[in-house]
Structures are given as C-alpha cells and as structure tokens.
Amino acid sequence: MKCSSDDRGLVAIILFILGMGTLLPWNFFTTAFAYFNERLSATTVGNVSTSGSGDPYMFNNMCVLISQLPLLLFTFLNSFLYQHIAERIRIVGSMVFILMLFILTAILVKVKMEQDLFYNITMTTIWFINMFGAVLQGSLFGLVGKLPQRYSSFFMSGQAVAGIFSAIAMLISLLSEADNENAALGYFVTPCAATLLTLCCYLLLPHLKFARLHLVDGASDKEETKTEMFLQKSEEVNGHMECNSKRKLNDPYPESAKKQGEEGQEKATVLAVFKKIWVMALCVTCVFMVTLSIFPAITVLVKPNALFTGKWAEIFTALCCFLVFNIMDWIGRSVTSVVQWPSKDSCLFPVLVVARLIFIPAIMMCNITPSYYNLTGVFKHEFVYILFMSLFAMSNGYFACLCMSYAPQFVRAKDAETTGALMTFFLALGLSLGAALSFILKMLI
C-alpha cells in the first residue's frame, strides 16, 4: 500500500469548509434579527402595514431560549444515540433538513401572513435548525477527532470564519442601507448555497486516501486497520507523519500493536470516556460560558465616546463588536495549528481558562449608558473596548480549539467519536449557561 500525501491539503480545506458549514447558517439567521423584529412589530390596518411600538412577541429573548434548548438536548442525546445511527445518515440527514428549513425561511420572506402564524412557523424553524445543527456539529467533531490533532484547528477555524462572513454581511447591509426584507433574503439564500457546498465536501471526504487512513470504522481489513492506527499513533508521538507508518505495514505485527487491536475491539462506555476527558470537558464549558455571558448581550451595549461619530457611530457595534470578535476568534483558533501551549497535561491550562472571567467586569466597565448601578464608564475610550474585545475573542478561539483538539488525545482512536459527541455537549452546556448568566449581568448594569 503506497502512502499518498498529496490530498492532505484537500482534507484540510474540506474540514475548514465543514467547520464553516456547521455555524454559518445559524450565524446568518441571527444576522436577520432586524427583519424578524420589524415583521413581528408591524400592525396591519387594511392593506397598509405600519410599524408598531414595543416587542409583543419578545422575539430576541424567545429566540435565545428556543435555540438553546434543542442545542443542549440533542447534543446530549447524540452522545448516546450515535452508536445506533450511522455517521453518514446523521451528517447527510442533518444537512438536508437544514437546507430545506432555510429554503422555507427564504420563501416566507416574500409570503405575507398573520403575525401569529409567522411567529409560530419561525419558532418551529429555529427549534429544528438547532436540533439538526446539534446533531451535525456533534457528529463532525467525532469525525474530526479521528484525524491528527492539527486538523481540529482547520475545522474550528472554519467555524470562526462563518462568524466573520455574517459580521461582514451585517456591515454591508448597514452601509448600503438596504431594507430589512431584501437583506434577510440574502441572509437566507447564502446558507442554502453554503450547506450544499458543505454536503458535497463531506461526500468527497471518504474518497481521499489520507482521510480513509484515519476514518477506519468501515475498513474491510480490520487487522490491517488496527495496525495502521497503532503505527500512525507511534509516528505522531515521535513527531513524524503517516507516510512512514504505512510503509511499515508489510512488517510482522508487533505484539504491542496486536494488544492495542484487541483492546480496541469494543468501544468504551460514555461514562468511561468522560472520566478520561472531564478536565477538557469542563474547560470548554467554562470557555463558552464566559464568552456567551457577555457576547453579544453586554458587548452590544457599549457605545462610542468621541472617536466614532456620524456614520461611524452607526456601524460601531457591527464593526467593533461583531467583526472584531469574529476576526480575533478566528486568529485564536488558527494559532493552535502552530502553537499548543500549555500542554494538555499542564495544570496551568485550566487556570488560564478560568482566568478569562476577568473579561466580564472589564467589558462591563466600558462605556455603557445608561447604567443603573453606575458600574460602567470606567473605560470610556473606544480603543480600550476594542483591545478588550480582541483579547477576549482571541482567547476564546485559542482555548476552545485546544480543548476540542486535546480531548481525543486522552482516549483510544476507537473512542474518538464518543469524545467528539461528549465535548460538543459540554460546549453546548457552556453556551446555555452563558446565555442564562447574560440575563443576570444585564440586570446589574
């Protein structure tokens, strides 16, 4: 069997696109909040639609609730049910249903209907998008966990780029002063194209030799596959890659390889896997809890002081909050393909993750007005806010990516999919805890 390294770059690109495809649809959906709020706050008199006051449907708050519940529930269920439903069915099925839901949402932009009906359809769509998104993300993290560590950073970087695209779309919409309806149509059509591209990339992945070397669950020659896994692990520990490993396949099987093959015949239980990765699981929960507690609920409340005026003041939030966060988050995730510090066994790693709590009071003391408890306004200058946001976002991407790439290293290759499913659940748990905490922090301002 010859070793092929010429498709490693293509595998990296596909993983990047898969990462982008997991989050881009929902990011674009949330970018269209202005459209949903406008449509749900309008009152109809005869055939004339006028803008009403207030938010009778509490769309923003309900959207957070309806999106987090299925995300948390189905990432948890995916940790157990993945063994009973084939990976290909879970991933392809989720992508197809997400595509159909966005096509429906795009069609509804041009369909006039009663507000109650539109609200109910939208909430149902949000539930199912996040339900299938949870299954898709958990399944893909399990797939990525079977590949060498550095490939996790490509997947995570793709997720960050999805946020950059949505932030740029928001910025373009503000600068062009497009009406919310036409802007929303673009927000919903774009994820349709992105989901189709993601689906095609996933279907291409099993045809690449380098990917097949690691995605061995369906291999026909099980003994050869087990030996490949052992040899490739040995090469990674010594800083070498899989080409040298595969050249050794014709050698007699070492006893240690046979032992590993015997041990790998049965997958470990979910509880057994959790006992090995619990530190990384709690770390990823902490990372996203801290992030979601203030982004975007608190960060969008920061106002420009004197530097940003006129048109710049109008795009301040889109530029300095969303775009800065997503770019720096992407940089943080990308850095992990070059630098992994602290190591997975270092006691310093969880300490630095917890240290990110300092960003909560730091950003809350930026220029937020009005402030009931006078806790804000200590750091009024826009550059201080941009600096805080940059460090906050970069550390989020860096530590989140390290958590997701370190976790599979604590288990056998056969348990990588279970690890991916569990880590996705704790990631979702962090998102949910952070969203809940954001309500409390907003009351303190």
For residue range 19-64, list pLDDT tens digits in order.
999 999 999 998 888 899 889 885 543 344 444 445 678 887 788 8
Tokens 């995570």, located at residue:
156
Mean pLDDT, to the nearest integer, of 181-193? 92
Q: Give the start-to-end residue ranges of the domains of the chain.
A: 1-44+57-215, 216-263, 269-445
- In terms of phi and psi (left: phi > 0; alpha: psi -120 to 50; beta: otherwise), the region of 111 is beta
Q: pLDDT band at 341, cuts 50/70/90?
A: very high
Q: Of how many residues is the chain composed?
A: 445
Q: What gap in Å lies between CA 321 and CA 408, rounded to an integer?
A: 33
Structure tokens at 283: 């770390």
Tell me the pTM.
0.79
Q: pLDDT band at 398, cuts 50/70/90?
A: very high
Tokens 């690691």, located at residue:
214
Residue 338 has pLDDT above 60, yes or no: yes
80 vs 383: which has the higher pLDDT = 383
pLDDT at res. 375: 66
Residue 261 near residue 412 (C-beta atoms within 8 A)? no
Residue 240 has pLDDT above 90, yes or no: no
Q: What gap in Å lies between CA 356 and CA 397, rounded to an integer?
A: 12
Tell me, yes or no, if the two domains 1-44+57-215 and 269-445 fold the same way. yes
Q: What is the pLDDT of residues 196-218, one digit of tens each?
A: 999 999 999 989 988 888 876 43
Tell me, rounded to whole angstroms, the distance of Cα 296 from its chain centroid.
15
Structure tokens at 315: 């795009």
Largest CA distance in the chain: 84
Output the CA torsion 357→363→368→373 (10° steps).
30
Alpha helix segments (H runs only) across 215-269: 222-237, 242-247, 255-263
Residue 312 near residue 376 (C-beta atoms within 8 A)? no
Q: What gap in Å lies between CA 81 and CA 75, rounded to an integer?
A: 10
Q: pLDDT band at 357, cuts 50/70/90?
A: very high
Distances (CA, A) of 98 to 64, 107, 125, 184: 18, 14, 9, 17
Does 1.20.1250 match the CATH number of domain 269-445?
yes
Does 3.40.50.720 match the CATH number of domain 1-44+57-215?
no
pLDDT at res. 255: 39
